[in-house]
Amino acid sequence: MHELSVTESILSIVLKHAQTNRAEKVLAINLKIGELSELVGDCIQHYFDYLSKGTIAEGAVIDVEDHRLSFSVKNADTHSKYL
């Protein structure tokens, strides 16, 4: 259920940038979501549709790209990369 508060923040950021850039309409939002966030793209779109009603972002499609976790471990003897 934390998608609601995250989506509120996304909308706020989108509207701020739209205003700064004098946009008349927001059509799409590209969003990367890390796999450990446990966010569900469909839920974000659902909440965004509800929250954005009456704004220039109403009807915008959120294109969610799942971002896999990767990290490297380094020590004096070895270097390993995990994806």
pLDDT digit string, tens, across residues 51-79: 999 999 999 999 999 888 777 777 766 65
Token code pair at residue 59: 């009807």
Do residues 71 and 77 touch, judged by C-beta distance below 8 A?
Answer: no
Question: Can you tell me the distance from the alpha carbon of 19 to that of 34, in angstroms, rounded to the nearest whole number?
Answer: 27
Residue 19, SS3 per DSSP = helix
Question: Can you tell me the distance from the alpha carbon of 10 to that of 57, in angstroms, rounded to the nearest whole number?
Answer: 11
Do residues 30 and 60 touch, judged by C-beta distance below 8 A?
Answer: no
Average pLDDT over residues 33-61: 93
pTM of the predicted protein model = 0.79
